[in-house]
Amino acid sequence: MKKIVKLSLIMILTIMCFAGAVYAASSCNISLVTAKTEYSKNEEINVDVKISNIESERGFIALEAVLEYDKTSLTLVKMQGQNEWSNPIKDLSYNEATGKLVIDKNGLAKSDEVILKLTFKANENSKDTTTITLKDIKASDATTPTQVATATKSIKITTPIIPVDPTDPEPEPTPNPDTKPNQPQNPNTNTNTNTNNNKDNTISTDKMPKTGTNTEFVIGGIAVILVAGIIFGIKSRKMN
């Protein structure tokens, strides 16, 4: 009888110990990591979401957060889970309007690792500096959620410089609208000038005698002689 009572007490104490078991407080850090801090417009930007400094007896299996970024400067291209963490699915585990996302792991995260990769594209009208933020982060070890500090990443966006090809010809200068085009020369001016210059300098510039009057005088004299001869001939016939 005593043995039965003793075994019963041991079992009760064991159940009480398991029922009263409390896991120690868990904690971790979430950070945003990029390959560089400066990107050009229209360039893709890969952001790694990394979990580190894990303090948990079990390890973390799920994470919830709100993603914020300037949509005039960046376009979210895709989100991919890493190291067996799930992909956020639009309208299911990712709300585009609020930015809230939830992912979980096929297993437990117990050491530092990248859990999510965010891919953005810098817009043409991007600001010089833009910020990507994960806030309201909660990590879960399947018992109680753990509040995690906000993670922020500042990125500088620059305009790419297009190199000049030395083999390209220089562009034509832009005409000034205030400048009048060259007036064409009058062809008659050159013609007259050349004509005057080509005149024969050997021709005398003195007045030539008027030959019309002398010719008339000679013809008139001949006519008088002929008439006189005719008259003289007629008179000689009459006399004979």
Q: What is the pLDDT of residue 184?
A: 58
Q: Is the pLDDT of residue 196 over 80?
A: no
Q: Give me the percent of the chain exceeding a pLDDT of 90.
A: 54
d(CA 66, CA 103): 12
Per residue in 32-51, pLDDT (tens digit) is: 999 999 999 999 999 999 99
Predicted TM-score (pTM) of this structure: 0.60
Per residue in 63-92, pLDDT (tens digit) is: 999 999 999 999 999 999 999 999 999 999
User: Which DSSP symbol is given to 166?
Assistant: T
Per residue in 103-114, pLDDT (tens digit) is: 999 999 999 999
Average the pLDDT over each of 99-103, 119-123, 134-138, 190-194 and give the range with the smallest value. 190-194
User: Which DSSP symbol is given to 170?
Assistant: P
d(CA 233, CA 239): 10
Say how far residue 194 (Cα) sits from the centre of its chain: 60
Q: What is the pLDDT of residue 230?
A: 72
Q: Hey, CA dihedral for 229, 230, 236, 240, is it positive or negative?
A: positive
Give CA separation, 176 vs 171, 173, 180, 183, in Å: 15, 9, 9, 16
Q: What is the pLDDT of residue 11?
A: 43
Average the pLDDT over each of 51-55, 146-150, 211-215 and give the range with the smallest value. 211-215
User: Can you give the residue ranges of every domain in the chain?
Assistant: 25-155
d(CA 25, CA 143): 11
CATH class of the region 25-155: mainly beta
Q: Is the pLDDT of residue 26 over 80?
A: yes
Q: What is the pLDDT of residue 14?
A: 42
